[in-house]
Amino acid sequence: MTIDPAEIPDFSDLTCTNLMIRLKILLKKSGTDAVVECLVRRDQRDTIDVPFSHSGYEVKIRKLDANRYRVSLKKKDPGPKP
């Protein structure tokens, strides 16, 4: 995770749909080993967790306070090719 929390974008003002679009764009632009982080609300956390964890991403979520979470997404390593 990024060390400086001030560098993490706060997406808590976005709708869940706009958040998913924004994250997919960021993940597509980033390299395969890059980590995408953001700050979100509780309802957004629920929207992110299952879809990304089931679609090949490592999802880490850390609770900051009652309605604020720090989310980290990274593409899972597919392992060695046969």
Give the C-alpha separation, 59 to 50, whole Å. 9
Looking at residue 8, what is its pLDDT?
92
Looking at residue 31, what is its pLDDT?
77
Confidence check: pLDDT of 2 > 60:
no
Beta-bridge partners for 25? none
Which pLDDT band holds residue 82 (cuts at 50, 70, 90)? low
With beta carbons less than 8 A apart as the criterion, state whether 39 and 8 touch.
Answer: yes
pLDDT tens digits, one per residue of 4-36:
667 899 999 999 999 999 999 999 998 778 899
pLDDT tens digits, one per residue of 54-69:
888 999 999 999 999 9
Domains of the chain with CATH codes: 5-75 (3.30.110.40)
Confidence check: pLDDT of 78 > 80:
no
Q: Considering Cα of 11, then 26, then 74, then 18, what sign does the dihedral take?
A: positive
For residues 31-46, give the mean pLDDT. Answer: 90
